[in-house]
């Protein structure tokens, strides 16, 4: 069964899913053909968690992470 959920950064499975999915994207030719740096792997989730203008949604097929949206709000003063 496919299920879609707001990412909970304190949930280890979600945190691993975020890094895994982003690493898969970055490793693909479309994403730059290079794995994530250790710095990104180590800090991404905690840095996302600090920002209340970021919203991450995850998709799982049973226990397997299969999709993700990282949305970062744009804001204009007028």
Q: Considering the rule CB under 8 A, would residue 77 count as an interface residue with a copy of itself? A: yes
CB of 57 to a copy of itself, least distance (A): 14
Going residue by residue from 42 to 71, which x/- string records binding to a copy of itself, judged by CB under 8 A?
Answer: --x--xx-xxxxx---------------x-
Q: Residue 65 corresponds to which tokens in the numbers above? A: 């992470």
Q: How far apart are CA 44 and CA 9, in angstroms?
A: 10
Question: CA-based angle 59:38:19, to the nearest 5?
Answer: 5
Q: How far apart are CA 54 and CA 14, in angstroms?
A: 15
Residues in contact with a copy of itself by the rule CB under 8 A:
22, 26, 36-37, 40, 44, 47-48, 50-54, 70, 72-73, 75, 77-78
């Amino acid at each position: 069964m496919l299920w879609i959920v707001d990412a909970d950064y304190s949930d280890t499975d979600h945190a691993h899913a975020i890094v895994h999915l982003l690493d898969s994207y970055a490793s693909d030719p479309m994403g730059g053909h290079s794995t994530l740096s250790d710095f990104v792997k180590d800090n991404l989730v905690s840095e996302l968690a600090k920002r209340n203008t970021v919203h991450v949604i995850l998709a799982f097929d049973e226990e397997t992470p299969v999709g993700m949206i990282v949305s970062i709000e744009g804001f204009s003063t007028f």
